[in-house]
Amino acid sequence: MRVLITGANGFVGRELVRCLLARGRLRGQVIDSLLLLDTELQGVPQDPRLRRHCGSITDAALIRRVLADGIDVVFHLVSIAGGAAEEHYELGYQVNLLASLELLNQLRNKTLPPVLVYASSVAVYGGDLPTKMTEHAELRPELSYGTHKAMVERAVIDLGRRAEVDGRVLRLPGIVARPREPNGLRSAFMSDLLRSFAEGEAYRCPVSEQATAWWMSARCCVNNLIHAAELNGVEPGSQRVWQLPVLHLSIAQVVDALAASYGQERRSLVSYAPDAHLEALFGRLPPLKTPLARAAGFSHDGNAAALIRNALNPATPRHLSLTGDSLYVATNPD
Binding site for a copy of itself (CB under 8 A): 89, 93, 97-98, 101, 105, 108, 138, 141-142, 144, 147, 150-151, 154-155, 157-158, 161-162
| Nearest-angstrom CA–CA distance, 324 and 185 | 29
Residue number, 58 or 253, with CB nearest to a copy of itself: 58
Q: What minimum distance in Å lies between the beta carbon of 103 and a copy of itself?
A: 13
- The yes-or-no answer on residue 89 being catalytic is no
| Nearest-angstrom CA–CA distance, 229 and 209 | 37
Residue number, 27 or 161, with CB nearest to a copy of itself: 161
Of 125, 145, 203, 262, which residue is the catalytic one?
Answer: 145
Q: What minimum distance in Å lies between the beta carbon of 187 and a copy of itself?
A: 20
Residue number, 32 or 138, with CB nearest to a copy of itself: 138
Residue number, 108 or 277, with CB nearest to a copy of itself: 108
Q: What minimum distance in Å lies between the beta carbon of 147 and a copy of itself?
A: 4
> Are the C-beta atoms of residues 318 and 328 closer than 8 Å to each other?
yes
Output phi, psi for 3, to 5 deg. Answer: -125, 135
Q: What minimum distance in Å lies between the beta carbon of 324 and a copy of itself?
A: 34
> Are the C-beta atoms of residues 116 and 166 closer than 8 Å to each other?
yes
Q: What minimum distance in Å lies between the beta carbon of 139 and a copy of itself?
A: 8
Residue number, 134 or 316, with CB nearest to a copy of itself: 134
Give the residue numbers annotated as catalytic, written as ranges. Answer: 145
